[in-house]
A and B are shown apart, each in its own frame.
Chain A
Amino acid sequence: MDVCTFEKVGIRGTNIVVLGVEKKSVAKLQDERTVRKICALDDHVCMAFAGLTADARVVINRARVECQSHKLTVEDPVTVEYITRFIATLKQKYTQSNGRRPFGISALIVGFDDDGIPRLYQTDPSGTYHAWKANAIGRSAKTVREFLEKNYTEDAIASDNEAIKLAIKALLEVVQSGGKNIELAIIRRNQPLKMFSAKEVELYVTEIEKEKEEAEKKKSKKSV
C-alpha cells in the first residue's frame, strides 16, 4: 500500500536489526506521543507499518495477544517468522471473507529469534510475507530500495553503527528536511527494543554529513 504513506526502512545487520521511519508532520495541537509509528509486538519483536492507521491498530493488537498466548501455552517466545505468519494469515483471511475488506497495511517486522539470528520480514495486504535483508515500504519505496540494493554490502552491515547509518542514509534519500523527520528503533541480540531520541538521530545525521563532505573533498582532490 504505497499511496499517501511515509517511508519506512528495515535493515538486517549481523548483530542488530534497525527500523527507521519518516516522521509525518503533526498538527500543532496534536500530542505527538500518541502518533505511533514503530510498535513493539513483544520484547524481541517490533514492527513498522505503512497504510491505514486504524487497520494497523487492529492487526497489532491481535499480534500482541498472540505473542503472549504463545508464551503462556508453549513457554517460549514467538519466533519472528511465527508472528509474521500469524499476521499474514490474518490478512489473507480478510481477502477471502464475505462482507470484509482487506487490511490496508504493509508491515516490516524485525526481531531476533531465540537462536540469536536476526530477522526481517515484510507483509502486504494480500497476506504474503517474505524475508528480506533490507527493505523499504511507503510512497517512495522503489527509490529507497534501489539505494539499498546499491549500498547494502557485508561491510555496510558489519558493525551496528554502520547498519544504523545505512538505514538513516536510505531514509535521507527521500525524506524532506533531513534528520529531524526521522525516527529510529533498534534491537540488539538479547537486548530489548531501543527507541532513539531526536538528539541521537541528529548525531548520526551529522556524522553522515561529515563523511559525505570528506568523500566529496577526496573526489575533488583526485580530479585536480
Chain B
Amino acid sequence: MAATFFGEVVKAPCRAGTEDEEEEEEGRRETPEDREVRQQLARKREVRLLRRQTKTSLEVSLLEKYPCSKFIIAIGNNAVAFLSSFVMNSGVWEEVGCAKLWNEWCRTADTTHLSSTEAFCGFYHLKSNPSVFLCQCSCYVAEDQQYQWLEKVFGSCPRKNMQITILTCRHVTDYKTLESTGSLPSPFLKALKTQNFKDPACCPLLEQPNIVHDLPAAVLSYCQVWKIPAILYLCYTDVMKLDLITVEAFKPILSTRSLKGLVKNIPQSTEILKKLMTTNEIQSNIYT
C-alpha cells in the first residue's frame, strides 16, 4: 500500500514479487494430463532387468538373487572391448540377464524391442565360479535412470563382502591439470577407490579437482555409502571411439587382484582384440 501525492491510498506493485506467488501456484498445480504425461515418461524411462532365458523381469535385485564375491563392471565401448578380449575369452561365462533401458541417447525410438546391435547392458557369471560377476554396459544410463539401475542390480541392502571393479573411459580434455594437454601421455590410467578398498591400485590415483561422471560415479558413490570395497579405473584417452591403443591402456589392471586368475592367455587375447578392432573399424575417409 502506498500514499499518493493527493492523499489517496493505492495498492502499489510489490517489487519483491510476493503478491504474484498465488497466481504462479495455480499454474503449478498438476493437471490430470500432466500427471498422465509424467507417468508415461516414467514408464518409458524405466530400467528393466530381464532374465536371460525367459526375458521376464527379475523380482529381486540381481545381487540379491545371486551371491557375488567379485563384480567387474565395464562401462563404455573401450572398457567393454577390453573385458571381451581379455577376460571373457579366458573362461566360460554364462549370461544371467540384461538391463533394458531407453533414453534420448538411444538411436531407436522403440522402447520395447531394442535390437542386438544396439548398445546393451549384459550381466554374466563365470561358470566355474558363479560368484564372479561381470557387467558389460555400452549404453548410456541417464542421470534419472542411474538410481534405478543401482537398485535393480545391487538392491537396497547390498552384501559387504564383495569387491567391485569398474572400468571406464573419459576424454582427455576433461582432465584438469597444470600440464598442457599436448604433453599428456594419453591414453593413461587413473584410479579412484572407496574407503574400504585396501589393495593398492596399479596406477596413480585421480587427483583433485578431477571428478568422475555418470554411471561409474553412481556405482562408486553407492559403494562408498554402503562401505563396499570398490575401485574405479578411469582411462583418459584422446579417441572416444573403439581404439586399440585405448583398450591396451587397461592392460596394467590384468596384474591386479581384481582380475587375478581370470585372465589366462594374453597373446591370444591380444589377437582377439585386434580382430575385434578390424571388424568394428568404420571406413572413414575423413582422416588420413
Query: Is A52 on the interface with B (CB-CB < 8 A)?
Result: yes
Complex Cα–Cα for A139 and B287 (A): 11
In the bound complex, residues from chain B placing their C-beta under 8 Å from that of A53 are 285-288
A140: nearest chain-B partner, CB-CB? B245
Q: Is the CB of A26 within 8 A of B287?
A: no
A220 at the A/B interface (Cβ < 8 Å)?
A: no
Provide the bound-state CA to CA distance between A49 and B288, in Å: 7
Which of B185, B244, B288 is within 8 Å of A24, CB to CB?
B288
Question: What is the interface residue range for chain B against chain A?
Answer: 10 to 19
* Contacts of B236-286 to chain A: CB distance below 8 A: 238-239, 241, 243-245, 274, 278, 281, 283-286
A223 on the B face (CB < 8 A): no
**In the complex, are the beta carbons of B288 and A51 less than 8 A apart?**
yes
A30 interface residue per 8 A CB criterion = yes
Query: How many positions in chain A have a CB within 8 Å of any CB in the partner chain?
Result: 24
- Whether a CB of chain B sits under 8 angstroms from the CB of A16 is no
Shortest Cβ distance from A142 into B: residue: B185
Is there contact, CB below 8 Å, between B288 and A6?
A: yes
Find the B residue at minimum CB distance from A56: B288
Enumerate chain B residues within 8 angstroms of A54, measured Cβ to Cβ. 286
Beta-carbon contact of B287 and A2 below 8 Å:
no
A27 at the interface (CB under 8 A from B): yes
Q: Give CA–CA (A30, B285) in the complex, Å.
A: 10
Looking at the assembled complex, report how far the CB atom of A136 sits from the nearest CB atom of chain B, in whole angstroms: 15
Are A5 and B288 interface neighbours, CB within 8 A? yes
Encode A46-89 as 1/0 by CB contact (under 8 A) with B. 00011111101000000000000000000000000000000000
Contacts of A96 in B (CB 8 A): none
Interface check A198, CB cutoff 8 A: no
Contacts of A35 on B, CB cut-off 8 Å?
Answer: 285, 288
CB of A151 within 8 Å of the partner chain: no
Check A4–B287 contact: CB distance below 8 A. yes
Instruction: Select B287's contact among A5, A25, A27, beta carbons within 8 Å.
Output: A5
CB closest residue in chain A, given B277: A176
Separation of A198 and B26 alpha carbons in the complex (Å): 78
Contact bitstring A32-50, B, C-beta under 8 A = 1, else 0: 0001110000000000011
Report Cα–Cα, A205/B182, bound state, in Å.
33
